[in-house]
Amino acid sequence: MTADASVKPELRANVPDALTLATELIRAPSVTPDSGGALEIVARRLEAFGYHVERLTFDSGGIPIPNIYARIGTGAPNLCFAGHVDVVPEGDPAHWLHGPFAGTVEDGKLFGRGAVDMKGAVAAFLAAALAHGRPETGSLSFLITGDEEGPALDGTVKVVEWLKEKGEVIDHCVLGEPTNPQAMGDAFKVGRRGSLSGILTVKGVQGHVAYPHLADNPIPRLLKLVGELTSAPLDHGSDFFPPSNLEVVSIDVGNPVFNLIPAEATARFNVRFNDLYSLETLKSEIIRRIDGAGLTYDLAFQPGASQSFLTAPGPFVDLVADAVEAETGRRPEASTSGGTSDARFIKDICPVVEFGLVGQTMHKVDEATPIADLEVLTRIYSRIIARYFATFA
């Protein structure tokens, strides 16, 4: 992949700041799966500063999903910033203090859907990279998707497949998901737990509650099976991960009346699991527990499961932590908590670390980030870029 090294002098002298970029992105209403023009904003900014931009659209789920991969420089190492510009729905706009897509600045904060998750971080690493310019040695790249908050079928996972097919090598990646629980410098993600969902079904015989001998109630048997699943911890955690956690999220029989024994009962569950399990060993443990009840059941594990992963301690992890500490005065905790992210796909091609804004308001009404945090994040990303090429080039 080649890139145009020439940048118009007037652009070089007027690198946009993170607030400008974040406001522009928030005003593009990119609710999954509609990109709302947000990806094109990123693409045009990068092209103006000499990046070669690949616009990649995938459609396995029936809706075309746009993504971009952009690079400046042709040599190694290649440092990639990854993220998404799609956002969750805003809900009822009447509940917002400011319009969810207005990009309003008030009391030192930027309000709008995606301010935290994660248009603010995309803006910060754009501002940092554009200010840095083309690396003297090595490359800077961006992997930005429009399909992270949705099914994630045609986003980063497909771009990663495309990169492999093209022989495009990324050496390290920083993903801009919100990682700080309370304040900038709290934490960065060096791994994520795996996720596995399942539906457990017990069949019975429907009948009148007054004649139970003519029916077979599946509910007591389902509850016994659920008890087998949840009676003991899956584990007690590992060196880098908290204990695995199985949560029953629904028990349902679809029965709105009081005089009918249902024909079947189902339970839905999700497991967030650590590196003590693979998907296969976890499935085996779940089946072993259920089989302990000695009952007949149906079990269907759901698609979209993901393995846990860890970016091992080393120079890259230290580099990110050092940059955060230099700007915030705090050494961030190396965390593996929280839900899934697109890091679960990126880890297949390179080490990935996540660091972004404070997550207190993500997905909420009046989502907002302090402008000061945007500025700090931009400086952290700038330090990461400078130290990266000094260390790895």
Domain region containing 281: 195-301
- Is 118 in the same domain as 255? no
- Is 180 in the same domain as 203? no
Distance CA 37, CA 120 (A): 16
Summary mean pLDDT of the chain? 95
Q: Contact at 8 Å (CB) between 375 and 18?
A: yes
The tokens for 70 are 């952009």
Q: Is residue 378 part of a domain?
A: yes
Residue 252's contacts (CB-CB under 8 Å, 6 or more residues apart) are 265, 266, 267, 268
The DSSP line for 132-164 is H-S-SSSEEEEEEES-SSS--SSSHHHHHHHHH
Mean pLDDT score, 196-216: 98
Question: Is 177 annotated in some ligand binding site?
Answer: yes
Mean pLDDT score, 132-155: 95
| % of the chain beyond a pLDDT of 70 | 97
Residue 7, pLDDT score:
45
Q: Is it the case that residue 196 has pLDDT exceeding 50?
A: yes
Q: Please, where are the H alpha helices in 13-132?
A: 18-26, 38-48, 119-132
Q: Is residue 2 part of a domain?
A: no
Residue 14, pLDDT score:
80
| % of the chain beyond a pLDDT of 90 | 93
Segment 357-393, tens digit of pLDDT: 999 999 999 999 999 999 999 999 999 999 999 999 8
Query: Using the 8-state DSSP alphabet, how is residue 87 labeled?
Result: B
Question: Confidence band (pLDDT; 50, 70, 90) for 5?
Answer: very low
- Is 110 in the same domain as 181? yes
55: number of Cβ within 10 Å = 12
Residue 3, pLDDT score:
37
Mean pLDDT score, 59-80: 94
Residue 144's contacts (CB-CB under 8 Å, 6 or more residues apart) are 39, 42, 67, 68, 70, 82, 83, 84, 85, 122
Active site residue 239: no
Question: Confidence band (pLDDT; 50, 70, 90) for 304?
Answer: confident
Q: Which of 86, 168, 171, 327 is labelled catalytic?
A: 86
Displacement of CA 248 from its chain's centroid (Å): 23
Q: At what angle do helices 119-132 and 38-48 cross, to 10 degrees?
A: 10
* Helix, strand, coil % in the chain, rounded to nearest 5: 30, 25, 45
Residue 44's contacts (CB-CB under 8 Å, 6 or more residues apart) are none
Distance CA 84, CA 259 (A): 50
Distance CA 32, CA 17 (A): 26
Residue 186, pLDDT score:
98
Q: Is it the case that residue 11 has pLDDT exceeding 70?
A: no
Residue 77, pLDDT score:
98
Distance CA 85, CA 98 (A): 20
- Is 42 in the same domain as 117? yes
Q: Which of 147, 148, 342, 367 is labelled catalytic?
A: 148
374: number of Cβ within 10 Å = 25
Cα 292–Cα 296–Cα 299 angle in degrees, nearest 5: 85
- Is 98 in the same domain as 129? yes
Classify residue 376 as exposed, middle or buried by CB count within 10 Å of its CB (0-12, 13-18, 19+).
buried
- Is 25 in the same domain as 120? yes
Q: Is residue 1 part of a domain?
A: no
User: Which of 301, 323, 357 delimits the end of a domain?
Assistant: 301
- Is 162 in the same domain as 26? yes
Mean pLDDT score, 78-87: 98
- Is 264 in the same domain as 381? no
User: Which of 239, 271, 301 delimits the end of a domain?
Assistant: 301
Mean pLDDT score, 100-114: 98
CA distances from 10 to 14, 45, 49, 51, 159 (A): 6, 13, 11, 16, 33
- Is 177 in the same domain as 53? yes
Residue 389, pLDDT score:
97
- Is 149 in the same domain as 41? yes
Q: Is it the case that residue 132 has pLDDT exceeding 60?
A: yes
User: Which of 235, 267, 301 delimits the end of a domain?
Assistant: 301
Q: Is residue 3 part of a domain?
A: no
Q: How many domains does the chain have?
A: 2
Residue 386, pLDDT score:
97
Question: For the CA atoms of 38, 43, 45, 48, what is the dihedral angle to 10 degrees?
Answer: -160
Q: Contact at 8 Å (CB) between 192 and 335?
A: no
Q: Is residue 327 part of a domain?
A: yes
Mean pLDDT score, 282-309: 96
Three-state DSSP state, 212: helix
The tokens for 22 are 């974040």
Q: Is residue 276 part of a domain?
A: yes
Residue 1, pLDDT score:
40
Q: Is it the case that residue 345 has pLDDT exceeding 70?
A: yes
Residue 223: which CATH number? 3.30.70.360
Residue 93: which CATH number? 3.40.630.10
Pairwise pLDDT comparison (9 vs 71), residue with the higher score:
71
Nearest to 73 by CA among 11, 17, 129, 111: 129
Distance CA 270, CA 308 (A): 14
Q: Contact at 8 Å (CB) between 142 and 124?
A: no
Q: Is it the case that residue 165 has pLDDT exceeding 50?
A: yes
Question: Is 84 annotated in some ligand binding site?
Answer: yes
Question: Is 291 annotated in some ligand binding site?
Answer: no
- Is 182 in the same domain as 212? no
Three-state DSSP state, 273: strand
Residue 286, pLDDT score:
98
Q: Contact at 8 Å (CB) between 185 and 321?
A: no
Q: Is residue 168 part of a domain?
A: yes
What's the one-letter identity of residue 138?
G
- Is 365 in the same domain as 317? yes
Pick the range with the lowest mean pLDDT from 2-11, 81-90, 247-256: 2-11
Q: Is it the case that residue 4 has pLDDT exceeding 50?
A: no
Q: Is residue 234 part of a domain?
A: yes
Active site residue 148: yes
